[in-house]
Chains A and B, each alone.
Chain A
Amino acid sequence: AQSVSQHNHHVILSEAASLELGCNYSYGGTVNLFWYVQYPGQHLQLLLKYFSGDPLVKGIKGFEAEFIKSKFSFNLRKPSVQWSDTAEYFCAVNAGSGYSTLTFGKGTMLLVSP
């Protein structure tokens, strides 16, 4: 079974700071990788996804993530955060063939101070 580990539970940044949230997964086969964002009081929304091809994936709102297969990692980055990026971020993985359940990390709460 797959598992996902997110390195930080809480991150506090000032506006304009750069962001990198770590995500590592454990699964021996092909995987699909996702980052979801949950703004306060809202449901999960997809930020970006990786299925195959270019390991550098660009998502909405200036976010990007890089899939490094050798490190089983899919870290999320943003060059300059804004106050509106305050949210909880979840990394998720499922197996890349057939149907498999989506496994989530425990989430990272990002607080951006103005």
Chain B
Amino acid sequence: EAQVTQNPRYLITVTGKKLTVTCSQNMNHEYMSWYRQDPGLGLRQIYYSMNVEVTDKGDVPEGYKVSRKEKRNFPLILESPSPNQTSLYFCASTHGTNTEAFFGQGTRLTVV
């Protein structure tokens, strides 16, 4: 089954404690992205990757890092999480330019 898998689904952490949210897709898609969803703001792109070792900032990259060492994986790293990063995070992958994005199930992160 074609899917985008994120882990964990839920995470509560403390300010400053480094964390990683994993994202994996099994569709051999070139493009992968991370979004955060906040009430009243919709989805905003954090980072995206056009292929292995190619990443770029989205609209709200501050406080986040990503890596793309393999085509299927695109982890999101918060080196020093802060409460304003409490949000619902979605990973997405896309095959090409004229296709839709497939989304993971989401990761609800709370930073206290």
Could you tell me which A residues sit within 8 Å of B by CB distance?
Answer: 9, 32, 34, 36, 42-46, 49, 51, 90, 94, 96-107
Contacts and interface: CB of A to CB of B under 8 A. Distances in A.
A102 B101 contact: yes
B103 A43 contact: yes
Contacts of A36: 103
A51 B100 CA distance: 10
A97 B97 CA distance: 7
Nearest to A41: B106
18 contacts: A34-B100, A42-B105, A43-B104, A43-B105, A44-B103, A46-B100, A51-B98, A90-B43, A100-B97, A101-B45, A101-B48, A101-B59, A102-B33, A102-B94, A102-B101, A104-B44, A106-B40, A107-B42
Interface residues of B, number: 24
Contacts of B45: 101-103
Given A43-B90, A101-B33, A101-B58, A49 B43 contact: no
Contact of A98 (B97, B100, B103): B97
Interface centre among B50, B94, B103, B104 (most CB of A within 10 A): B103
Contacts of A100: 97
A34 to B, nearest CB: 6
A32 B98 contact: yes
A36 B102 CA distance: 10
